[in-house]
Amino acid sequence: MTWTLVFVLAAGAYAFKVTGLVILGGRTLPPVVDRCLALIPAAVITALVMKDTFSTGRDLVLDARAIGIAVAVVAAWRRVPLIAVIVLGAAATALVRLIS
Amino acid sequence: MMVACLTLSAAVGVFGVSFGVASVSAGSSVLQTCAISLLVFTGASQFSAVSVIGSGGSFGSALGGAMLLAARNGVYGLAMSRRIEGSLGLRMLAAQMTIDETTAMSVAQPDPRAQRIAFWFTGVALYFFWNLGTLIGALAGNALDPTTYGLDVAFPAGFVAMLWPLLTDARARLAALLGGAVCVVAIPITPVGVPILLSALAVLVGVRRPREVAS
């Protein structure tokens, strides 16, 4: 991590927030752009979950993390609060590592 | 409503601890880690950036992935612009707080006044807890190995929980499925960080009109 990256990240993240709230304001975007932008969280967050669960660097791996995420998926499906999903997922992973 | 806002903020604070640990173990200093939470203040982008850097990715791929995730705050800003009134300075401040949780808490309220209160209250509480959590995690991070307590899974597990409500929509489910699949296929064949960028192609699911997509 470099300070340049810290400040570029900060400027970029704030630019998006300001563009939406202050600059574009109440203006409407073409519906097709709106529809695509709305799908960013679902697509990108799923990808992040996949990367952090099934990979180490550029290798696809299957280890204790998969069990932890499976537990988290069940917890989320049962509508358990955010914090409990995190704790259950982490605890399940730690437990598998402990006994394997 | 205040209780819900506070509970959510405290929970996110715990998430902040895991960010602090993740960032320090990915090679950032304590000062850099705190600066990221104070200045960037959007969890997904922060985690993405330190995770890409930590696994050896380049400046460009770390930035690209983080910015793709930050883009949705622009969409939230569009949604909130009709609810947040006041001077330019006040709206510039509101912009920094326009993220998943504040938007979600605000739009869940029944009337405009409650929506404004929920936005500001959640924003301030979240800013406090997120940064406090980050500091605690950054200080503890040097002393503990995140894999021992499964803390490396805290981030993806938290995202599973945040993802769940989004998946009630059929197109979002399709985008999630495609995004996840693209990422897994791309991991062994592209440089670190690129799979996350490629996964964003799944938003093209949105090009077709809703009625034409079978659900």
Encode pLDDT of A8-67 as tens digits: 999 999 999 999 888 877 666 788 887 887 787 788 889 889 988 999 878 999 999 999
- Whether residues B199 and A2 touch (CB distance < 8 A) is answered with no
- ipTM of the predicted assembly exceeds 0.95: no
A56 — phi, psi (to 5°)?
-130, 110
On whether the CB atoms of residues B151 and A90 are closer than 8 A, the answer is yes
Token pair recorded at residue B70: 């930050």
* Chain A residues close to B41, C-beta within 8 Å: 13
* Chain A residues close to B205, C-beta within 8 Å: 36, 39
Position B215 pLDDT exceeds 50: no
* Chain B residues close to A7, C-beta within 8 Å: 39
pLDDT given at position B146 = 67
Q: Which amino acid is at B60?
A: G
* Chain B residues close to A43, C-beta within 8 Å: 175-176, 178-179, 199-200, 202-203
pLDDT given at position A29 = 72
- Whether residues A5 and B203 touch (CB distance < 8 A) is answered with no
Nearest by CB: B195 against A47, A56, A81: A47
End-to-end CA distance of chain A: 33
Residue with tokens 């980050």: B134
Strands A59-60 and A55-56: antiparallel
- Whether residues B95 and A92 touch (CB distance < 8 A) is answered with no
Q: Which amino acid is at A96?
A: V
Q: B interface mutation test: which of A18, A22, A45 has the most B CBs within 10 A?
A: A45
Beta bridge partners of A12: none
Position A72 pLDDT exceeds 70: yes
For chain B, what are the domain ranges?
A: 2-166, 169-215
The DSSP line for chain B is: -HHHHHHHHHHHHHHHHHHHHHHHHTT--HHHHHHHHHHT--HHHHHHHHHHHHTT--HHHHHHHHHHHHHHHHHHHHHHTTT--S-HHHHHHHHHT-SHHHHHHHHTSSSHHHHHHHHHHHHHHHHHHHHHHHHHHHHHHTTS-TTTTTGGGHHHHHHHHHHGGGGGSHHHHHHHHHHHHHHHHHTTTS-TTHHHHHHGGGGGGGGS-GGGS--
Average pLDDT, chain B: 86
If one compares A82 and A95, the residue with the highest pLDDT of the two is A95
- Whether residues B188 and A77 touch (CB distance < 8 A) is answered with no
Summarize the confidence of residues B142-160 as an average pLDDT.
Answer: 78
Nearest to B127 by CA among B102, B109, B105: B102
Encode pLDDT of B156-203 as tens digits: 887 888 788 888 889 999 999 999 999 999 999 987 767 877 888 998
Distance CA A82, CA A45 (A): 15
Q: A interface mutation test: which of B30, B63, B78, B127 has the most A CBs within 10 A?
A: B78
Q: How many CB pairs under 8 A join A and B?
A: 315
- Whether residues B152 and A17 touch (CB distance < 8 A) is answered with no
Encode pLDDT of B85-130 as tens digits: 888 899 999 999 999 888 877 877 788 899 899 999 999 999 999 9
Nearest CA distance, B69 vs chain A (angstrom): 7
- Whether residues A76 and B59 touch (CB distance < 8 A) is answered with no
